[in-house]
A and B are shown apart, each in its own frame.
Chain A
Amino acid sequence: MTALLSVRDLSIGFGAGESVVQKVSFDVEAGQTLALVGESGSGKTISCRAALRILPRTAQIRSGTITLNDSKGTAELTTINERQMRGIRGNRISMIFQEPMRSLSPLHKIGNQVSEVLWLHRGASEADARKEVLTQFERVGFPDPKRAYDSYPFELSGGMRQRAMIAMAMVSKPELLIADEPTTALDVTTQAQVLGLIKELQRETGMALILVTHDLGVVANMAEQVVVMHKGRIMEAGAAAPILTEPAHPYTKQLFDAAPAIPDQDAVGLPMPDEDLILEMVDVSKTYTMRSSKGWKADKLIHACRGVELKLARGKTLAIVGESGSGKTTAARIALGAELPDPGGQVLFRSSPDTDPITVHKMSKGERTAFQRKAQMVFQDPYSSLSPRMRIQDAMTEPLEIHKLGSVSEQRDKAAEMLKRVGLNTDMLKRYPHAFSGGQRQRLSIARAMMLDPAMIVCDEPTSALDVSVQEQILTLLEHLQDSLNLSYLFISHDLAVVARIADEVAVMRQGLVVEQAPPETLFYNPRHPYTKALIAAQPEPDINRPINLKLVALGAGSPDSWEDAFRFSDSVIPSLTEMEPGHKVRCHV
């Protein structure tokens, strides 16, 4: 029996350069899931896109065959003409992309974009297509399919948009679905739900799936077959269970070692010390007003932060965890003085143990300058946080110039020193950012933040744009810097595994409230709050025996109304943060 899709000796290259995919072969059997795993630049995306010939214009397939063999016949995908290819795209093979935010046209209604598949391939009438799409919408879990049909993408959340993409891919009942990092841009709980949905639909329809991902946790939850790629070559391939339990190839092992995991052993963490606090946030709230479009309706209040109390001790790391919209970034911005808390909130910063605190929420201009020297930030996206038109040297010495510190040669020496500190060569100073990889750029961002010898650094998801092995290096670097310079970190993240590794204390936020706060060991071993439980359950583990518990996710990730009585909160009634055991606070009615 022949496979549904078989790829043989596929090589793809750009222009005249060396092939970026070299002699790749794999098979996808009907109804099975194949995971293509690798880091950025491994060629995993490009080799699966070659099946639909959706490649960058300069890329060409140099050799090899891709044969589709489904119930409608056999087709050699590398040689058929463009017209035949169009008959296959979206019909016999569908594809889901990484960014649901940008993968749908902003100006067309969802229903129109999804129905289009049926108009194209079935010649369906508008009414027939609508009926079929509405059924499909119901299957992918839209609470109100009719409303979704007439919505524009910007009216839906990321998870809902990805559901719409899935509906679009599934509506023509293809026998093969290619999903290119379908959940990377989503929150963990949403990711868990979307993965669960794909799996369920697959069970119903018997469709095969090629899942492109960098996340071994996702692989363990989804795949039967695994292909590990690195620099355009296949490193290891075979059934998922043996590869995930006993990887044979050193590269696969390396990937496993780099993947941070949530610890599951019993341990009691030490609570954050209460003396020598570098940063203290007392009763910090932030309310935004959304002006109502209709004059007679009251303006809508958005509570980005509600009564947040956080303490960061010198030389420690406090992590704030939460999904998008939880208020974690707002809290960090307030801590940096980039935004003012609502009246009554206090933010105190002590640059050294014996000085008077700076009141960040009402700084004078002079105080702000002094504060900026001591508190710096590392941003999420190293690709856009460095000016592409400035040499590294200029970008690094700029903070010193602004604060008028040292002579030009002293500034340059300092830049060179910092570059060495973060593990880069000083001969890179004259280069522009485009000459660096993502990991190197993040090192540069850290070096730039260190230029003013700050006491505290706010890290806003510093590793979420990076590959796992690079993420590992950056985390090690941050730990090393903390140890040698007694730095304090306020660490913002949505990734519990990263936080488990680096934090001394973790605050979990949801809808502007801290719902649970504890040292990581305590929090992960003994989570009390349903939302924390959901976050932990949703984290895909690279362990085939610990699949995502969708029930737990659904219980905690829904609206607070669906939680048990003890944890429920509304706009008016908010339970207080109660200390359940030393250092472990949970927001619940006692």
Chain B
Amino acid sequence: MVMLRYAVYRFFTMLLTLLVVSVLIFVIINLPPGDYLSNQIAELQASGQSAGVAKAEFLRTEYSLDRSLPEQYLIWMGFWPGPHGFEGLLQGNYGWSFEFDRPVSEIVGDTLWLTVVVNLAAILFVYAVALPLGVIAAARSRTWIDYTSAFVGYLGLATPNFLLALILFYYGHRYFNLPIGGLMDPVYEGQPMSWDKLKSILLHLIVPTFVIGTSGASAMMQRLRANMLDELGKPYVETAVAKGMAPSRMLTKYPLRVAFNPFVADIGNLLPSMVSGSVLVSVVLGLQTIGPTLLTALKTQDQFLSAFILMFVALLTLIGTMISDILLVMLDPRIRYEGREA
């Protein structure tokens, strides 16, 4: 009951935050002088192509770029009628990409869920690697296990991701016959989902997951190790030992439970850093994620495209923090019962 109420409350605060974020995104995108179309018009006028100018002018009114900023924002969000009535994000209309001369939804289409898939895989990888290694490193601190895992971890942190990507591609292809580049075999692109397509995607995911996840995993492992070491010195651990518990069960039941909190709280932070951090990797690996598209959109001031992508990343982040907050409340009675009368 408490949980449900909290989840609902948390969901509404998330919506509110998203609204604020949308304003920020819109303002920041419009901070540099000019927009895609006015730049284009200036360019066309300079070269004397008046036909193009007319088209650009048409697009300006079509997408309300001639109106005031607040109005533009409201129309973009779908709070205010544009030239064709309510047609904004809320109505599922993501706008027009001037750079690609296509609707935004068409451009991002597939890449949206591929981004989610790649990053989810990376996060799962981070947790799957960091959790056992961190615990073992703490339990056997100052032994060769600890030192080896720390060494490998720092190596992972220190190696540039794109370099790691190239190395892995080479050796992965040479010894395991892993595919190079892309997120699926080109045959399946644009095809409906099928068993073979899924298999191809999974196979293509191995290297990117590893590349994007390594640094996050090693950072998190070190953090978990430090947390665990703190907890291991606490008296309740002694109590558990004095009870006659076996070490493995004792470790997982008591100190890990406590050390787990920061671990969970990290989910929210992990998502955005992965999405933005994986841009370069995506370019190098030729992944059809949203990262490279965002880069182009930002460079050319393609405002609807970049705004939409930024909104999408913000949404991912907010969902991540919401999940971690709700998990924390589930895990930690001290947070759950805060303010409960004794």
Q: Does A485 contact B (CB under 8 A)?
A: no
Q: Does B340 contact A (CB under 8 A)?
A: yes
Which among B39-47, B54-62, B230-238, B304-312 touches the partner chain?
A: B230-238
Most buried by B among A54, A94, A105, A168: A105
* Partner among A52, A86, A104, A291 whose Cβ is within 8 Å of the Cβ of B245: A86
* Partner among B236, B242, B331, B338 whose Cβ is within 8 Å of the Cβ of A105: B236
Nearest B-chain residue to A165, judged by Cβ: B239
Q: Are B234 and A94 in contact (CB under 8 A)?
A: no
Task: Return chain A residues, CB-CB under 8 Å to B342.
Answer: 155
User: Which residues of A come within 8 Å of B, CB atoms?
Assistant: 52, 54, 86-91, 94-95, 97-99, 102-108, 113, 116-117, 120-121, 152, 154-155, 165, 168, 291-293, 300
* Partner among B235, B241, B243, B254 whose Cβ is within 8 Å of the Cβ of A117: B243
Interface 1/0 per residue, B234-275 and A, CB below 8 Å? 111011111111100000011001100000000000000000
Nearest B-chain residue to A88, judged by Cβ: B244
Q: Are B242 and A90 in contact (CB under 8 A)?
A: yes
Cβ distance B142 to chain A, nearest Cβ, rounded Å: 9
Q: Are A91 and B236 in contact (CB under 8 A)?
A: no
Q: A152-B334, A291-B339, A293-B339 are in contact. Are A103 and B245 (CB under 8 A)?
A: no
CA separation between A556 and B198, bound complex, in Å? 75
CA separation between A90 and B240, bound complex, in Å? 9
CA separation between A187 and B191, bound complex, in Å? 74
Q: Are A91 and B244 in contact (CB under 8 A)?
A: yes
Q: Are B238 and A107 in contact (CB under 8 A)?
A: no
Number of A-B contacts (CB under 8 A): 81
CA separation between A123 and B334, bound complex, in Å? 30
Q: A89-B244, A168-B243 are in contact. Are A103 and B238 (CB under 8 A)?
A: yes
Q: Are B332 and A107 in contact (CB under 8 A)?
A: yes
User: Which residues of B come within 8 Å of A, CB atoms?
Assistant: 234-236, 238-246, 253-254, 257-258, 331-334, 337-342
Task: Return chain A residues, CB-CB under 8 Å to B244.
Answer: 86-91, 117, 120-121
CA separation between A165 and B342, bound complex, in Å? 20
Q: Are B235 and A107 in contact (CB under 8 A)?
A: no
Q: Are B235 and A94 in contact (CB under 8 A)?
A: no
Give me the 4 closest cross-chain CB pairs, A-B, nearest first.
A293-B339, A89-B244, A90-B243, A90-B244
Task: Return chain B residues, CB-CB under 8 Å to A113.
Answer: 239
Task: Return chain A residues, CB-CB under 8 Å to B331.
Answer: 107
Q: Are B239 and A104 in contact (CB under 8 A)?
A: yes
CA separation between A105 and B236, bound complex, in Å? 5
Task: Return chain A residues, CB-CB under 8 Å to B242.
Answer: 52, 54, 89-90, 94-95, 97
CA separation between A98 and B337, bound complex, in Å? 26
Cβ distance B34 to chain A, nearest Cβ, rounded Å: 50
What would 21 A/B residue contacts be, using CB atoms closer than 8 Å? Answer: A86-B245, A89-B242, A90-B242, A95-B242, A97-B242, A102-B235, A105-B239, A105-B254, A105-B257, A105-B258, A106-B236, A106-B333, A107-B332, A108-B254, A113-B239, A116-B245, A120-B243, A121-B244, A152-B333, A165-B239, A293-B341
CA separation between A89 and B257, bound complex, in Å? 23
